[in-house]
């Protein structure tokens, strides 16, 4: 059963390449994957224990490579975190294939590329083996670059190239780190990394601490580049602005979370606290740069798409903050759920933003703030939906992002001894909170400049969002609302 | 199910129904909103004395839990009466006032959203829940201020209100986090059971929480949004920006003081700062009010000034006095705002007091109710404002604080600017065609005014309905205490304000005074404008430039450019386009992976 989560989109993508009706196949396969993902999540949530769950049809293991001292398996299965990431992938995939308008003559490429990205992301999230975890992510990146390079907007070749260089460099560093990690742990099974590393750490304390410290650094910078951690963030905003809507949605919404997910399951959960602790201060400084520095960059944007792209980079800082909180204080039981919840919420909200931005661009024929204005008059539904997701992304209660953010802030203060001064994570949380003001500034300005004020002349005849275009936005908006009102619906998987 | 849940469900259902079903039926929307609010008022009567409930788990993770529940005590249930009572009257008034508005359904939908959010703040059982509804109230305020969003000024005012509140909430959240770290809980009941010890950290935490109140209750220097918020429809100003939402900060502080306990609170250093912020706000706002010409702006500055009084009382560790004043003020300020709404409506939406005048003859009932409200605000003996202000003066006197003199000065100024308003706008001759044409408004608008006069007149005498935390004794029987010197001082302050107003403004057609400093609001908006321009916008441009050219271009870009050179080499060697190169790069990546894993 679990194999289907990957094979359905993969087979559909190939079918489209070989001439199946592209849109229909894509939508159907995405729908099937979503239903399957929901069934899997329910099964996982209601299973009495992890082993009882795995004994059902939700675990797949097949030996791929057998070497003298270890083996690599094609091993799929679910954990609490990966269940949530699986749901995120399935939901955003469906919304992505419903969004945007494929240019004539490129429909096959458009839909199959989207499905390849989705299959890659899904494979990465449900892999329990380090090798395939990495390989599936690589698989998803290739169509991403192809789509930006061939069907993107603006200076697409240059932008695609820049993203490739950054991400390839990040991936290589990451790969080296992961291989090193696997070799000292003696296994590629992600669930066994921890005990392997612990044994290594215990056996040879002074040198092993150094080695592990180096590996942690490689993982932070490798994953960090994939998640646009400052200062390796310059690729992200132009890539999202240029990418076709489904690709921007899938990459910003889903694929980028791979780095954070990986950092949690292969570093934070694996490497001993004494080693992780050494990286806290640097990570806090970098994530604050994401929030404050990139936040200021976002304020200065002149286009909606670049504004959203930068805001997405900025919001990664909050998830890193939760990760820093657990690195500094290992008993922090709020931090990882907070990070996962915010990853999910951000993924849904940024996908919805890019889906709607695409509608604005098609209907108003521009995304420049100074050429827009007052279009709430002619497009009230679009205004409502964009307002909803704008409010979600700046952390309005009742929508999912708030629940994630507020938990991140609590995780930052978890473990603070009130008789002592603030540590780096508490200071980081306080400064990060200022980012909440910054994000309100750029989002409300964008809403004011786009929708409020007098109606601009050129938009007098502008269409409102059509029913078909509303479907992905309503799907994603509904998820934001449900998770925002009742976050336990996801948090139950993490308890 | 407890009855109190209906206080949440009713307005929420109304908001959803109006926004998603009744958008095309404006009249029905108005009716639904009004009926639901009246029903909530009835429910609010019946929940008095009911049990508090922890409610349901919103977030639960191990031992970290956040609930959505409610606390019912004298403080919250009586506050609920104010919210639903004034809410009902404002709804009824709006039926007439917004009759011809094109977006009437949206208006009533947002009003219902506000009622829902405000209920959450009042009944909240913990600080995170307060924060949740705190933000939602901010959203409804944003939507209602920006109701006429085609006007740039309305859009800007809405944005300013939201952002200024966000600055306050920045502190509020830090305060909640610190208090949680100190005590291990955010629930009011658990805080009350195990109050924290007075430490330096607690002092900072309480002040940080107060920052939230500074935003919502518009205390200097975060007061700048409230006068601009008058861009919203006038009934909204009455409900949200005068009677209820802006008082939420005072209410929230009273709740926090109640659960932590005054013996701990009074030893904290930060509370004195709170009192002074209140006092200074009160004084600055009163000075600004003396030179405003827009009837709603005058009332807005007067609201600021009265909120300053309340915050001052809270800071003097007498939240009972603050809440008492909140209660009386809510009724008579709603009366004044709705009265000004009726006047504006009658004067063809002209808000300049120098275009008014002669209204007592043309709209006598409205004018008399407005004058009644003014008497209460200026604390004429036996009116509601008199009793509550007296309790605040006592609070200052008990602490032996210099703030007593600030408060008395503000009292004189209040009388001065309110009677300036009366002499110019209500009495005298009509100064413009707009006021010559003014006619008495319809019954639907008059009825709420008359009801508010009655409620306001009776309000101080029904101490059971006052939302008090009951931490300090309030003397409700100040009436015959004319032997008390304080009463004489306060009457002296009234006379001191009234006589110059009479001499300067009775029968005048233009302002004999011109004090640019007050008229221009101490240039605080201009100063903020510069701070935002330099500290945010220009800084953002500089940062953007550095990001683009230094980080992207030189530091990281240098590394990638060398890789690009390598890539170009590949490309020229293999004679392919870009796309294949990417694929090639990744092919190599995977090949290396396989190589290392198999042979290493």
Q: In chain B, what is the straight-line distance between the N-terminal and C-terminal CA atoms, in Å?
A: 66
User: Chain A window 336-365: which residues touch B at a Cβ cutoff of 8 Å?
Assistant: 337
Q: Any CB–CB contact under 8 A between B575 and chain A?
A: no
Q: Which of residues 24-63 of A touch B (CB under 8 A)?
A: none
Per residue in A338-356, pLDDT (tens digit) is 999 999 999 999 999 999 9
Q: Does the CB of B150 have a partner CB in chain A at under 8 Å?
A: yes
Q: Which residues of A touch B593 (CB under 8 A)?
A: 131, 134-135, 175, 179
Search chain B and give the residue with CA nearest A169. Answer: B560
Confidence class for position A40, pLDDT limits 50, 70, 90: very high
**A431/B contact by beta carbon, under 8 A:** no
C-alpha to C-alpha distance for B369 and B450, rounded to whole angstroms: 7
CB B426 within 8 A of CB B371: yes
Burial B359-388 (b: 16+ CB within 10 A, else e): bbebbebbbbbbbbbbbbbbbbeebbbbbb
CA-nearest of B233, B208, B228 to B218 is B228
Could you read off the pLDDT of A78-117 as tens digits, one per residue?
999 999 999 999 999 999 999 988 888 889 999 999 999 9
Q: Which two tokens stand for residue B356?
A: 């008014």
Which residue from A minimizes the CA distance to B562? A165
B597 → closest Cβ in A166, A179, A452: A179
Answer yes or no: do B166 and A440 touch at CB < 8 A. yes
A381 has a chain B CB within 8 A of its CB: no
- Measured in angstroms, the CA of A14 and the nearest CA of chain B are apart by 17
Is A436–B539 a contact, with Cβ atoms under 8 angstroms apart?
A: no
Residue B1 touches chain A, beta carbons under 8 Å: no
Please tell me if residue B57 touches chain A, with a CB cutoff of 8 Å: yes
Residue holding tokens 């604050």?
A288
For the four alpha carbons of A186, A192, A195 and A197, in that order, the dihedral sign comes to positive
- The count of CB pairs under 8 A between chains A and B is 201
The whole-angstrom separation of Cα A110 and Cα A114 is 6
Model pLDDT for residues A262-306, shown as the tens digit of each residue: 999 999 999 999 999 999 999 999 999 999 999 999 999 999 999
- Among A146, A445, A451, the residue with its CB nearest the CB of B582 is A146
B321-356 pLDDT, tens digit per residue, is 999 999 999 999 999 999 999 999 999 999 999 999
Express as a percent the part of chain A with pLDDT over 90: 69
Chain A residues within 8 A of B136 when measuring between CB atoms: 396-398
Q: Does B554 touch chain A (CB under 8 A)?
A: no
Q: Give me the DSSP letters along B22-68.
A: STT-HHHHHHHHHHHHHHHHHHHHHTTTPPPEEEEEEEEETTEEEEE
Cβ B556–A491 below 8 Å, yes or no?
no
B146, B536, B540 member nearest A452 (Cβ):
B146
Chain B residue numbers touching A407 (CB-CB < 8 A): 59, 61
| Residue A311 contacts residue A446 (beta carbons within 8 Å) | no
**Cα of A487 to nearest chain B Cα, Å:** 6
Flag if B61 and A413 touch (Cβ within 8 Å): no
Q: What residues of chain B score a pLDDT lower than 50?
A: 480, 570, 573-580, 594, 597-600
What residues contact residue A197 under an 8 Å CB cut-off, 6+ apart? Answer: A181, A184, A185, A212, A270, A271, A272
What string of DSSP letters covers B553-582?
IIIHHHHHHHHHHHHHHHHHHHT--HHHHH
Better-predicted residue by pLDDT, B599 or A41: A41
Q: Tell me which residues of chain A, numbers 57 to 116, contact chain B at a CB-CB cutoff of 8 Å.
A: 65, 67, 72
Give the residue with greater pLDDT, B282 vs A55.
Answer: B282
Q: Which of A402, A453, A495 sits opposite B61 (nearest CB)?
A: A495
Cβ of residue A429 closer than 8 Å to a chain B Cβ: yes
Q: Min CA distance, A11 vs chain B (Å)?
A: 20
Show residues of chain B in contact with A180, CB under 8 Å.
none
Q: Say if A377 is an interface residue toward chain B (CB within 8 Å).
A: yes
B120 min Cα distance to partner chain A (Å): 12
CB-based contact, A210 to chain B, within 8 Å: no
Cβ atoms B312, B275 nearer than 8 A: yes
According to DSSP, residue A453 is labeled: S
For position B61, what pLDDT does the model report? 86
Token pair 């169509």 is found at A143
Q: Give A67's contacts in chain B (Cβ within 8 Å).
A: 597-598
A8 Cα to chain B: minimum distance (Å)? 23
What beta strand segments (E) does B215-369 contain?
Answer: none
Rounded to the nearest angstrom, the minimum Cα separation between B442 and chain A is 31
A-chain residues near B598 (CB < 8 A): 65, 67
Question: Helices B74-97 & B26-46, crossing angle to 10 degrees?
Answer: 160
Kindly report the pTM of this predicted structure.
0.93
User: Which pLDDT score, from 0 to 100, does residue A56 have?
Assistant: 66
- DSSP per-residue string spanning A351-378: HHHHHHHHHHHHHHS--BGGG---TTTT
Contact of B64 with chain A, judged by CB distance below 8 Å, is answered with yes
Chain B CA closest to residue A156: B578
Closest partner residue to A410 (CB to CB) among B57, B177, B552 is B177
User: CA-CA distance, B77 to B85, in Å (whole number)?
Assistant: 12
Closest partner residue to B174 (CB to CB) among A164, A183, A430 is A430
CB of B461 less than 8 A from some CB of A: no
The answer to whether the CB atoms of B593 and A175 lie below 8 A apart is: yes
pLDDT of residue B577: 45
Q: Min CA distance, B556 vs chain A (Å)?
A: 7
Whether the ipTM is more than 0.90: the answer is: yes
CB atoms inside a 10 Å sphere around CB B17 = 18
pLDDT of residue B398: 86
In chain B, the residue whose alpha carbon lies closest to the alpha carbon of A428 is B174
What digits encode the pLDDT tens for the residues A387-439?
999 999 999 999 999 999 999 999 999 989 888 999 999 999 999 999 999 99
Q: A72, A130, A164: which to substitute to probe chain B, counting the most B Cβ within 10 Å?
A: A164
Q: Is B58 on the interface with A (CB under 8 A)?
A: yes
Q: In this complex, do B181 and A413 lie within 8 Å of one another by their Cβ atoms?
A: yes
Query: CB-based contact (8 Å) between A334 and chain B?
Result: yes
pLDDT of residue A459: 78
E strand or H helix at A72? strand A71-76
Provide, as residue numbers in chain B, all residues whose Cβ is less than 8 Å from the Cβ of A134.
593
User: Above 50 in pLDDT, residue A495?
Assistant: yes
Rg (C-alpha) for chain B, rounded Å, is 28
Q: Do B60 and A294 touch (CB under 8 A)?
A: no
Interface contact A138, partner B, CB < 8 A: yes
- pLDDT of amino acid B258: 94
pLDDT at B138 (0 to 100): 95
Q: What is the pLDDT of residue B173?
A: 97
Kindly report the nearest CA distance between residue B132 and chain A, in angstroms.
Answer: 5
Q: Smallest Cβ distance to A231: which of B543, B548, B551? A: B551
- Asked if the Cβ–Cβ distance from A413 to B177 is below 8 Å, we say yes
pLDDT band at A165 (very low <50, low <70, confident <90, very high): confident
Residue A208 has pLDDT above 90, yes or no: no
């Amino acid at each position: 059963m679990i194999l289907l989560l990957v094979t359905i989109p993969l087979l559909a993508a190939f079918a489209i390449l070989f001439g199946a009706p592209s849109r229909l196949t894509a939508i159907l396969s995405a729908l099937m994957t979503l239903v399957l993902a929901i069934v899997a999540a329910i099964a996982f949530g209601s299973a009495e224990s992890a082993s009882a769950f795995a004994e059902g049809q939700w675990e797949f293991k097949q030996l791929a490579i057998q070497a003298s001292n270890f083996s690599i398996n094609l091993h799929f299965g679910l954990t609490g975190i990966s269940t949530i990431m699986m749901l995120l992938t399935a939901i955003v995939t469906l919304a992505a294939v419903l969004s945007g308008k494929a240019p004539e003559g490129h429909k096959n490429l458009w839909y199959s590329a989207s499905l390849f990205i989705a299959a890659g992301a899904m494979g990465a999230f449900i892999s329990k083996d380090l090798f395939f975890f990495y390989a599936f992510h690589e698989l998803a990146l290739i169509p991403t670059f192809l789509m930006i390079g061939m069907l993107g907007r603006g200076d697409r070749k240059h932008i695609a190239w820049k993203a490739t260089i950054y991400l390839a460099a990040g991936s290589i560093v990451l790969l080296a780190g992961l291989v090193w990690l696997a070799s000292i742990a003696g296994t590629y099974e992600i669930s066994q990394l921890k005990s392997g590393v612990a044994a290594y750490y215990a056996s040879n304390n002074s040198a092993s601490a150094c080695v592990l410290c180096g590996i942690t650094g490689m993982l932070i910078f490798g994953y960090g580049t994939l998640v646009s951690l400052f200062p390796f963030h310059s690729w992200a905003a132009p890539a999202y602005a240029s990418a076709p809507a489904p690709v921007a949605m899938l990459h910003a919404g889903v694929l980028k979370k791979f780095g954070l997910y990986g950092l949690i399951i292969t570093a934070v959960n694996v490497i001993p606290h004494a080693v992780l602790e050494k990286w806290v201060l640097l990570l806090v400084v970098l994530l604050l740069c994401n929030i404050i520095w990139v936040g200021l960059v976002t304020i200065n944007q002149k286009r909606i798409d670049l504004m959203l792209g930068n805001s997405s980079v900025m919001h990664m800082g909050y998830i890193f903050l939760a990760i820093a909180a657990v690195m500094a204080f290992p008993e922090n039981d709020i931090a990882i759920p907070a990070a996962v919840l915010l990853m999910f919420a951000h993924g849904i909200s940024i996908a919805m933003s890019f889906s709607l931005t695409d509608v604005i661009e098609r209907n108003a024929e521009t995304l420049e703030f100074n050429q827009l204005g007052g279009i709430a008059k002619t497009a009230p539904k679009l205004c409502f939906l964009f307002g909803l997701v704008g409010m979600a992304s700046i952390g309005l209660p009742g929508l999912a992002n708030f629940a994630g953010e507020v938990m991140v802030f609590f995780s930052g203060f978890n473990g603070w001894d009130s008789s002592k001064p603030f540590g780096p994570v508490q200071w980081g949380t306080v400064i990060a909170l200022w980012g909440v003001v910054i994000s309100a500034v750029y989002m409300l300005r964008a809403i004011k400049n786009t929708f409020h004020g007098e109606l601009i002349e050129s938009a007098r005849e502008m269409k409102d969002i059509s029913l078909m275009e509303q479907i992905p936005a309503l799907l994603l908006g509904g998820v934001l609302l449900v998770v925002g009102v009742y976050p336990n619906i996801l948090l139950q998987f993490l308890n | 199910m407890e009855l109190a849940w209906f206080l949440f469900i009713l307005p929420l259902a109304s908001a959803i129904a109006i926004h998603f079903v009744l958008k095309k039926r404006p009249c029905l929307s108005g009716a639904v909103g009004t009926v639901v609010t009246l029903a909530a008022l009835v429910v609010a009567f019946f929940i008095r004395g009911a049990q508090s409930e922890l409610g349901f788990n919103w977030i639960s993770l191990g031992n970290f839990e956040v609930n959505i529940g409610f606390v019912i005590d004298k403080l919250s249930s009586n506050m609920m009466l104010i919210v639903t009572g004034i809410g009902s009257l404002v709804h009824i008034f709006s039926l007439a006032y917004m009759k011809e508005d094109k977006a009437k359904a949206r208006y009533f939908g947002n009003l219902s959203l506000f009622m829902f959010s405000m209920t959450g703040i009042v009944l909240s059982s913990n600080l995170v829940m307060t924060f949740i509804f705190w933000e939602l109230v901010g959203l409804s305020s944003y939507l209602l201020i920006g109701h006429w969003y085609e006007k740039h000024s309305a859009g800007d005012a809405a944005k300013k209100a939201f952002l200024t509140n966000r600055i306050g909430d920045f502190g509020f959240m830090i305060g909640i986090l610190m208090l949680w770290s100190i005590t291990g809980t955010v629930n009011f009941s658990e805080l009350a059971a195990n109050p924290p010890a007075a430490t330096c950290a607690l002092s900072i935490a309480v002040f940080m929480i107060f920052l939230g109140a500074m935003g919502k209750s518009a205390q200097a220097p975060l007061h700048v949004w409230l006068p601009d918020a008058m861009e919203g429809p006038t009934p909204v100003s009455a409900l949200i920006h005068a009677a209820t939402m802006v008082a939420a900060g005072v209410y929230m502080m009273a709740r926090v003081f109640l659960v932590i306990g005054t013996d701990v609170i009074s030893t904290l250093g930060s509370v004195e700062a709170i009192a002074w912020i209140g006092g200074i706000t009160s004084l600055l706002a009163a000075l600004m009010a003396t030179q405003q010409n827009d009837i709603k702006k005058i009332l807005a500055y007067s609201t600021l000034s009265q909120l300053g009084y309340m915050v001052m009382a809270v800071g003097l560790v007498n939240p009972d006095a603050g809440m008492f004043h909140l209660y009386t003020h809510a009724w008579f300020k709603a009366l004044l705002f709705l009265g000004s709404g009726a006047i504006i409506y009658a004067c063809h939406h002209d808000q300049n007091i120098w275009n008014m005048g002669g209204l007592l003859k043309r709209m006598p009932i409205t004018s008399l109710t407005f004058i009644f409200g003014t008497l209460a605000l200026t604390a004429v003996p036996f009116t509601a404002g008199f009793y509550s202000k007296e309790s605040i003066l006592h609070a200052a006197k008990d602490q032996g604080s210099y703030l007593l003199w600030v408060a008395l000065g503000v009292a004189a100024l209040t009388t001065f600017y309110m009677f300036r308003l009366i002499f110019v706008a209500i009495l005298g001759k009509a100064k413009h065609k707009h006021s010559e044409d003014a006619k008495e408004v319809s019954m639907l608008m008059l009825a709420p005014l008359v009801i508010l006069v009655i409620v306001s007149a009776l309000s101080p005498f029904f101490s059971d309905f006052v939302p008090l935390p009951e931490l300090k004794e309030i003397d409700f029987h100040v009436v015959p205490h004319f032997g008390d010197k304080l009463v004489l001082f306060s009457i002296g302050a009234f006379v001191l304000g009234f006589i110059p107003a009479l001499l300067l403004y009775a029968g005048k057609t233009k302002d004999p005074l011109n004090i640019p400093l007050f008229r221009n609001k101490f240039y605080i908006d201009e100063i903020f404008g510069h701070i935002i321009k330099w500290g945010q916008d220009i800084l953002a441009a500089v940062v953007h430039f550095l990001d683009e050219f230094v980080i992207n271009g030189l530091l990281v870009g240098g590394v990638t450019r060398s890789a690009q050179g390598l890539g170009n080499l590949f490309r020229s060697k293999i004679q392919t386009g870009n796309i294949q190169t990417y694929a090639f790069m990744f092919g190599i990546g995977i090949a290396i992976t396989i190589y290392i894993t198999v042979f290493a």
